[in-house]
Amino acid sequence: MAEITTFLALLTSLAICVRLITYRAHSGATHRPGASLVAWVLIASTGGQALQILLYGPRAHVSPWQLGLLLVVLLLTLQSKGNVARILRTDP
């Protein structure tokens, strides 16, 4: 079970990282430093998580709870098409 959880966490982390890196703002979009910082932290964290799993393999000890969080972040990232400002937006 641990190997499946670790493998799914690797795929999820890579998917989040790649989607955020490949985000392209539409014309007329404004730069938001706060959202940019959050995007940078997400890219560094998910990329670092993927690298750790690749280096340590099954010994990376990914819990099902971590995988659950990664899946939620992945769904939010895909729904917003990589736009972190849209993820952070609170108005309806």
Q: What is the pLDDT of residues 42-78, one digit of tens each?
A: 999 999 999 999 999 878 889 999 999 999 999 999 9
Cα R_g (the chain), whole angstroms: 14
Question: Could you tell me what percentage of the chain is helix, strand and coil, using 3-state DSSP and rounding each to the nearest 5?
Answer: 75, 0, 25
Q: How far apart are CA 3 and CA 10, in angstroms?
A: 10
Q: What's the pLDDT tens digit per position in 7-33?
A: 999 999 999 999 999 999 888 888 889
* Environment class of 66 (CB within 10 Å of its CB; exposed 0-12, middle 13-18, buried 19+): middle
Q: Which residues, other chains included, contact 76 with Cβ-Cβ below 8 Å and sequence gap of 6+?
A: 87
